[in-house]
Chains A and B, each alone.
Chain A
């Protein structure tokens, strides 16, 4: 069966503050708004919040029935009832996808309002100019963006396919290229494991392609991708601009990540451009996810008939190709709109009602170390597997979108997570 086409409305260059309208037809499953920077400051400065990355997103989004489902000056507190959860700010390209919350899924189930929808093109620097807490010259009203809207028609409720393109940057160990990947046993194991994990999310792998990143870019990031969030000129954004166009998710296989707070880059094995990513839009500064190849060839003696993901030293041992597949699946989950079910400090959660949560204060044995304890602790507790698999009220450690991997990892995906991914324009 041919994939139902996604309608792309190219709305041209628009200045911040401009109101843009578009028509939503009957039977629409998802609405995606993409703002790609043409000209904008890198940061916005607030008197109380300091210098922040200038992320792009509409100021308001109003449906055909007149309901305002996004208002950046009246943000809800990320409840599951919110129609649209907006909380990720990435430089250069802003993406919002409806639905990405339980409230949004309910809107889709009831049928998205048919007719003319409106939104105001905006970014953080523009919002700053409208706010009383904007620092002097902290914002800008002159930024311009290339604006697109993607409308995905409803498809059969069950299943869905996702095409992936693996982009190789590696000129060092482990050597991988578009030419060698097809015959590479570790890469093939990784793909088979990824297929198994995606199936838990109700998705199957469609076409898988292998391409090499242009040589100059590959050489530039041979020793690692520098993570630099306050500018569009960082390695990660520039790497993503090399992504091939098409209805797919681009996965960049890289050697390592580098952050100037030296240890933090060292422990990162995957990262996404933004949550969600600008599916089908390429090139852009967020057109993909990046995953380290570090584990791909490790633990080969543990790569048996079933997935081997338990990396705990006291466990049975883990297969590096399976671990790499898990990281790819996790980052693809972000790209398709999923947040961590419970963030590291156990104080923030996704906006889906059926994902298990693990609030720090009620799930840790030492609540006084929780980030939201009063008085605040000197340093904050991070949520682990054990405490987040302890009971129905302290759960989520086994979910694909838990913030860490390791002993006990399962990679579960809930029904609402499946629906959010299914609604993404990349899935057909």
Chain B
């Protein structure tokens, strides 16, 4: 009597192979749902979780901070920053306070501060986000990381003034995108008004097109978030 495997071979039935996708050498930043801020994450730096991974030595924390601030095309995630925890904060504050540092490193520092969280982080992120003295790159980093330390109502209260009055057009656009993504219900009205106000103030059609294109992602986000 033929056994089942023999039968399968006889009829040319071969099991499909398992496919293993190539290991990703260079993990790309993945689009993820907006991070919701809760009291727990907002106050992270005062909680036990803020200590990060307690098994890491101080030297390991320092090494990781140095590497995260020196990356070229691989970003440090919220989880990466939270693993180094509050022990990273003095190092990050040092980088942030040193205006001789490259803006990319200072931007990474404010992102790390925001990811670790807590009341001090909240203050720092807001200071940078609202400061006209900061270069665009650093200010944009603070704006984009603000949702890690502010809830939706706070975002609207703090970022709508940036949307409406920041000197640099790209900064206003960055604020609009954060508001549209993280507080669409409360902020999309302000975003749409800002776009129309800026466009109306521009005498040339070309400039108006430019303004609408600069805010296009925000408006698309609002349309998607508020679609019935």
Interface of A toward B, CB cutoff 8 Å: 46, 49, 52, 72-73, 75, 78, 86-89, 124, 127-128, 130-134, 171-173, 215-217, 219-220, 222-224, 226-230, 255-272, 275, 292, 294-295, 298-299, 311, 313, 317-318, 320, 323, 327, 330-331, 334, 339-340, 343-344, 348, 365-366, 368-369, 377-379, 381-384, 386-387, 403-406
B72 and A264 contact, CB distance less than 8 A: no
Question: When chains A and B are docked, how far (Å) is the Cα of A313 from the Cα of B92?
Answer: 12
B80 is an interface residue with CB less than 8 A from chain A:
yes
Which residues of chain B come closer than 8 Å to A379, judged between CB atoms? 53, 56, 79-80, 83
Q: Please, how many residues of chain B have a CB less than 8 angstroms from a CB on the other chain? A: 86
Contact residue among A265, A292, A404 (Cβ-Cβ distance under 8 Å from B70): A404
Q: Are A131 and B108 in contact (CB under 8 A)?
A: no
B81-A263 in contact (CB<8A):
yes
A56 to B56, CA, bound (A): 40
Q: Are A264 and B77 in contact (CB under 8 A)?
A: yes
Q: A275-B26, A365-B59 are in contact. Are A130 and B17 (CB under 8 A)?
A: yes
A-B contact pairs, 29 of them (CB 8 A): A52-B21, A86-B22, A87-B23, A87-B24, A132-B18, A220-B217, A222-B173, A222-B214, A223-B140, A226-B217, A255-B140, A256-B137, A258-B144, A258-B177, A260-B34, A263-B78, A264-B29, A265-B29, A266-B144, A267-B108, A270-B73, A295-B104, A313-B101, A318-B102, A343-B26, A344-B71, A348-B25, A381-B60, A404-B71
With both beta carbons as reference points, the residue of chain B lying nearest to A331 in the complex is identified as B73
Q: Contact check, A262 vs B147: say whether CB atoms are below 8 A apart.
A: yes
**What does the 1/0 interface line of B202-228 toward A look like (CB < 8 Å)?**
000010011101101100000000000
| Nearest B residue to A378, CB-CB | B53
**B75 CB to closest chain A CB, in angstroms?**
3
Q: Complex: how many Å from CA A257 to CA B29? A: 10
Q: Within 8 Å of chain A (Cβ to Cβ): is B13?
A: no
- Cβ of B3 under 8 Å from chain A: no
Residue B32 at the chain A interface, CB threshold 8 Å: yes
Q: Given the complex, which residues of B lie within 8 Å of A294, measured CB to CB?
A: 102-104, 107, 135, 137
B66 near A263 with CB under 8 A, answer no
Contact B83 A292 (CB under 8 A): no
Q: Given the complex of chains A and B, what is the CA–CA distance between A226 and B178 in angstroms?
A: 12
Q: Tell which of B30, B81, B112 has the most Cβ of chain A within 10 Å.
A: B30
Answer yes or no: B152 CB below 8 A from chain A CBs.
Answer: no
With a cutoff of 8 Å between Cβ atoms, the chain A residues found around residue B87 in the complex are none
Stretch at the interface among B38-46, B164-172, B190-198: B164-172
Task: Report the bound CA distance from A421 to B137 in whole Å.
Answer: 32
* Cβ–Cβ contact B21 & A262, under 8 A: no
Give chain A nearest CB distance to B217 CB in angstroms.
Answer: 7
Give the residues in chain B near A387, CB-CB below 8 Å: 63
9 additional contacts (CB under 8 A) given A264-B29, A265-B75, A317-B100: A219-B211, A223-B214, A224-B174, A257-B29, A261-B77, A261-B78, A275-B26, A365-B59, A404-B67
